[in-house]
Structure 1
């Protein structure tokens, strides 16, 4: 099989791209022909070295563009990407090729839809976020600092400024969503949708066609197995983007109430303000993956206080893999990895007092060690390895390809059944 992976970035700039490119390399190692089609470079050098065909358009995303007006047009409908993808897909045979879309909202735009539909190739989409159904991609009201329960594209939705930056940018995303729904018709195109958490499927299922088929494929976690921690537990740790929706201020406030020191790995828009209000916070900035895992291994617990849905937060699983218990918000999908009181704790989302109570409990070294051993044991009893991810992905690909083959066969069979010449039809029984 040839798999065409479609995504915004040809390099790892976050969880979406990491999953897509790791799966590209894994599929290639299993003998599949792989093409990566992306808008934004640079290209990860591992792709070419592995024999993967890469089509990278060299375009901008919102972070790299120097012309915001031109990029707004690209974000709504990227004509260059549509034409380039159409040219690429013409080379492939529907009998042995499949298109797997991982991301389009940061650069490619919904314009990829008509190109995929015209190719006749079977396709599927991985729901890393919620852009397929929600204009701002997160079901999150940034000014209100709360999960949004409005129906996407309803009057209530259109009249609400939920964007992280401004209402004009929300309106731009609304225009893009009109194109997504009514021009590209992506929800109809992607009959097969991969989800990465049970919460995610519950949120999106009522908003997609009844014919949508959901497939659960867990993200791969790249952590080597090692013995659990042997020394005393250290600090409470936060890893990720330091922002309001990720719950960073809630962690800082809870740590102060519990009398413990919060350690932050990462950076983001709330970092400077948080440090000013909570000078006891330790800010380590971004670290390499190996360094992060070493910090997790020594930590007393990872705190994951996100106040939006998330998809399947890799950080939570990476922590469990190294024997680090997790204290997680009960509103996000990260809770699905935690058995409350066994390998971590749930706390009421957005409530620093509830989080502080768990932090205080975990100052008990005996409890922290017990949860650490349980975290390690439970994760490695069924690890989310790259091989497990690829096994499941191949099962889904086989299902999608088999369904498409059946549909082509039915169309071909219908085309061969020509109507009989006029005058030779068998008359209805009543006229014989």
Structure 2
């Protein structure tokens, strides 16, 4: 089968790009012909390295952050996020060159826009899309407003996207208006209606889509594939020490909850791997509540993060937002280390509470501390949880099985799994909306 993957960025920039590139490699191993198409790199440091990139017919680079200078340029950039004629033309040329059997979209918002689906539809090519975030429902991607979980947009019809204006979920009224208008026009015009299937990595995301009336009869829940840490790099449970938080240091990640939990864990040590806008505040907080017991490493290469995780008793994932399929959780599971996660979004689906990790209420340092203490005082039990999680993720997130499942979705042989329409649980609901 000839598969064309479409994403605005083609270098290893974030989770969506890593997923696409690893999936393309797995599909090639399975015998498929795979090509990649997206936006031309704006920077020489962003040169895509995948051999299947369709150079010469890529969409022109479009930089939106920071916004281009000048009012006219900003208006043109905003208009292109609704419908990009240059990206549409470039996609037509890519289809002419590669002639795919299926087009698999990932993050096409803003820089490419759903305009790229028009030539795919005209050629009669089947198109599917993996959803790496909540953009089809929430104009700001994250279901966050004012740094807090928000479900204001999770409602059918055009009233949903317009909640971005009410909550100013992009900060300023102007920025919120741009994304609200964009999403409203896309929903009104059924811009993503030609997609034959939507792939959701979590049941939570599938449920959000159902409650918003998006993608009815087209949603498939397919867990993201992961690779296990090789057995020779695992650390015996008896030799593991301390706790780890790994990821971007931004408010929604809740790293401050983990730091405050350390005040309830005298003698315990926490390593925070990552960087971001909240780092300075977190360092100041750690100096107040747990002096000398929280170490900040900054951003580290993947092998060093793996070494930290495999050597820890537990990994804390104290998010205060609806993470879809958090990488920090699966990174712990593939290393045989139990994660302790907030009961929000898709994270609890990855952890069987008390079996291969622990689930705690969000925004509760004392509850997080109690869960971490349970693992620290009984490293053997923590080791058993980690082993159970590793066995489960090997079975349910196998890369080859993921490729086979996608083959069924590509061909139309897979049966959609619509999420039940139900009210969110008390813990997972938001006070907003």
> Does the C-alpha gap of structure 1 residues 26 and 352 become closer, same or farther in structure 2, counting only changes over 3 Å?
same
CA offsets per residue over residues 293-329 of structure 1, 9 Å max, x none?
A: 1111101111111122222122211211111110001
Classify the secondary structure of the residue corresponding to 1:251.
helix
Tell me the distance in 2 between the aligned counterparts of 1:270 and 1:333. Answer: 24
- Structure possessing the higher relative contact order (Cα contacts under 8 Å, 6 or more residues apart): 2
1:35 aligns with 35
**Which structure has the bigger radius of gyration?**
1
Alpha-carbon spacing, 1:26–1:278, altered in 2? closer, same or farther (3 Å): same
Measure the CA separation in 2 of the matches of 1:273 and 1:346.
26
Q: Are the counterparts in 2 of residues 192 and 400 from structure 1 also a CA contact under 8 Å?
A: no
Shift of 1:334: 1.6
Name the TM-score, length of structure 2 as normaliser.
0.83
Does the 8 Å CA contact 2:245/2:271 hold for their aligned counterparts?
yes
* Cα distance between partner residues in 1 of 2:231 and 2:60: 40
Q: Which moved more, 1:321-330 or 1:146-155?
A: 146-155
Structure-to-structure mapping, 1:132-151, within 5 angstroms: 132-141=136-145, 143=146, 145-151=148-154
Counterpart of 2:431 in structure 1 is none
**Counterpart in 1 of 2:426?**
none
Q: 1:384 to 1:145 in 2, by over 3 A?
A: same
Task: Name the counterpart of 2:126.
Answer: 122
Contact 1:322–1:376 (8 Å) recurs in 2: yes
Pick aligned residue for 2:367 from 354, 360, 372: 354
Shift of 1:78: 2.3
| Matches of 2:381 and 2:326, distance apart in 1 | 24
* Aligned residue pair count: 395
Residues 1:75 and 2:81 aligned together: yes
1:278 aligned residue: 286
| Structure 1 length-normalised TM | 0.83
Tell me the C-alpha RMSD between the 2 structures: 2.6
Cα offset for 1:257?
A: 2.6
Unaligned runs of 5+ in 2: 417-433
Distance 2:137 2:270 in 1: 36
Preserved contact between residue 337 and residue 383 of structure 2 (Cα < 8 Å): no
Q: Which stretch of structure 1 is more off in the superposition, 71-80 or 199-208?
A: 71-80
Give the whole-Å Cα distance in 2 for the aligned partners of 1:360 and 1:134.
37
1:379 aligns with 2:382: no
**Which runs of no fewer than 5 residues in structure 1 stay unpaired?**
404-432
When structure 1 is superposed on structure 2, of 27-36 and 266-275 the one drifting more is 27-36
Deviation readout 1:235-289 (Å, 9 max, x if unpaired): 2111111111111111111222333333211111211111122224311112222
- Alignment-derived partner of residue 424 in structure 1: none
In structure 1, what is the Cα distance between the partners aligned to 2:118 and 2:322?
30
Q: Trace 1:3-402 onto structure 2 (pairs within 5 A).
A: 3-41=3-41, 42-45=46-49, 47-48=50-51, 51=52, 53-54=54-55, 55-63=57-65, 67=69, 69=74, 71-91=77-97, 97-141=101-145, 143=146, 145-151=148-154, 153-154=158-159, 157-183=163-189, 185-208=190-213, 211-226=216-231, 228-230=234-236, 231-259=238-266, 260-279=268-287, 280=291, 281-364=294-377, 365-380=379-394, 382=395, 384-399=397-412
